[in-house]
Amino acid sequence: MGILYDDLVIVRQSEKEGEPSVITVNCPDKTGLGCDLCRIILFFGLFIDRVDVSTDGKWCYLLFWVVGKPTTRWGLLKKRLVEACPSCSSASGISFYTELQPPKPPDVFLLKLCCYDRRGLLHDVTEVLCELELVIKKVKVSTTPEGKVMDLFFITDTRELLHTKKRQQDTYDRLKEVTGNALINCDIEMIGPEATACSQGPSYLPHEITDGMLNLEMLDEQQSGYLPPDSVSITMDNLLSPGHTLVQIVCQDHKGLLYDIMRTLKDYNIQISYGRFSTKRKTECELDLFIMQTDGKKIVDPSKQSALRSRLWMELCRPLRVALVSRGPDTELLVANPVELSGKGRPLVFHDITLALKMLKTGIFSAEIGRHMIGDREWEVYRVLLDEGDGLSVPREKIEQAVWKMLMGWE
């Protein structure tokens, strides 16, 4: 008798606000499952307090202690976590061929939004799209001298319903609600996936963003948007376990920390057999992972150990790049983050950028999201031209620090 579909994920909400709720995931295993689950938890804005992971290679058991918000949509969270779990039949090999098939790429839609501009408008629109589970793949925002703004959002629909009139009408109604009388026109149409294709090379990206993307030693200790390398401790041990390599990490906590670690292991095709994650005073994290390669062996090759350690170190010291640069008389904010090998970007980055600028009462003249190949990795780059008016009223350092802290969850 198989496990019930609803029992793949069990959510036990805390009785008191601020105390952890417990999410139990009991399903067939697959390489990268931890990354997929952590990405969903990050998207829903939950703080991960503790995690226990164990698997025999076919079936896994995960416990997440998470702190939610009064607005957390627990039912929808459970639904998305269940969807990320492999089907129960895959554990017995019944649908092995089906599980190996690459997922169909989601349809891409162009949302064209024309409004009268106001401070904080872009964030309010972005927040609505996040709540509707419409994923922003690319965006182009421009402001006219007449005070009108044209927003072009290239989006995909997590619910895969945006082709229907009802879903489009619901989206329009929510956008109308948040923009009010400022809305001039709103249109949604399906387009080809080539609109969100990745560009080759960092030809026009400034060194403030590209420096350190390929080499941790290039990091400038005075630059915003990273943690000092000595704040992260990573050790590997092959003596403690006869069949696994033990990875121990101690570092400062940040939003998406566990996602960054799991994403790296997924990209390296590393399997986790057992793991434990905990936070101390919500600032320092400790993580023990017993891992192995897909061939079921330890990581004994020194070069492979060094490569994995360096990549983990890079992702923990500098999970995102943040820089404020001059464009002639203008000021541009740039943020970059690595993309998973699966093609998925980091959740909520544009949301957090626009929220930080809204809180600083700093206007946005134009914005653009694009993807670029730098070295052997794909990066998502956010370019925001600030509306300075009669001059930038907020110091550059304060803008850079505020955006960095918002992205890291230290606001």
What pLDDT score does 95 carry? Answer: 42
- Report which of residues 210 and 189 the model is more confident about: 189
Closest by CA to 276, choosing from 260, 287, 290, is 287
The pLDDT of 1-28, averaged and rounded, is 85
Closest CA to 246 of 213, 202, 292, 315: 292
Amino acid (1-letter code) at residue 78: K
DSSP labels for 136-172? EEEEEEEE-TTSEEEEEEEEEETTS-TTSHHHHHHHH
pLDDT, residue 280, reads 83
Q: Nearest to residue 340, comparing CAs of 256, 235, 266?
A: 266
- Residue 324 · residue 333 · CB < 8 Å: yes
- Cα 338 to Cα 85: distance, rounded to the nearest angstrom: 24
Q: What is the C-alpha to C-alpha distance for residues 232 and 276, in angstroms, rounded to an integer? A: 17
- The radius of gyration of the chain from alpha carbons, rounded to an integer in Å, stands at 22
Q: What is the structure's pLDDT at 79? A: 95
Q: Give kind and range of the element (H or E) at residue 321.
A: strand 321-327
Q: Is the pLDDT of residue 310 over 80?
A: yes
d(CA 321, CA 315): 11
Q: Which residue has the higher pLDDT, 92 or 314?
A: 314
Helix (H, G, I), strand (E, B) or coil at 240: coil
Q: Which residue has the higher pLDDT, 193 or 249?
A: 249
Q: Is the pLDDT of residue 229 over 70?
A: no
Of 171-185, 214-228, 335-349, the one with minimum mean pLDDT is 214-228
Q: What is the pLDDT of residues 104-158, one digit of tens each?
A: 788 999 999 999 998 899 999 999 999 999 999 989 999 888 889 999 999 999 9
- On whether the pTM is more than 0.85, the answer is yes
Say how far apart CA 39 and CA 345 lie, in whole Å.
10
Q: Please state, rounded to an integer, the average pLDDT across all residues of the chain.
A: 87
Specify the pLDDT at position 200.
53
β pairing state of 363-374 and 199-200: parallel
190 has a pLDDT exceeding 80: yes
Task: Please state, for a pLDDT cut of 70, what percent of the chain lies above it.
Answer: 85
Q: Shortest CA distance to 29 belongs to which of 79, 68, 84?
A: 84
Q: What is the pLDDT, as a whole number, of residue 213?
A: 55
What pLDDT was estimated at residue 96? 41
- 64-88 confidence digits (pLDDT tens): 999 999 999 999 999 999 999 997 6
**What are the angstrom distances between the C-alpha of 129 and each of 25, 124, 136, 174?**
28, 9, 8, 9
Beta strands 183-191 and 108-116 are antiparallel
| pLDDT tens digits, 377-406 | 899 999 999 987 655 678 888 999 999 999
SS3 content of the chain, % helix, strand, coil (to 5): 30, 35, 35
Question: Read out DSSP for 35-91?
Answer: HHHHHHHHHTTPEEEEEEEEE-SSEEEEEEEEE--TT--HHHHHHHHHHHSPPGGGG
Please, are residues 213 and 321 in contact by the beta-carbon 8 Å criterion?
Answer: yes
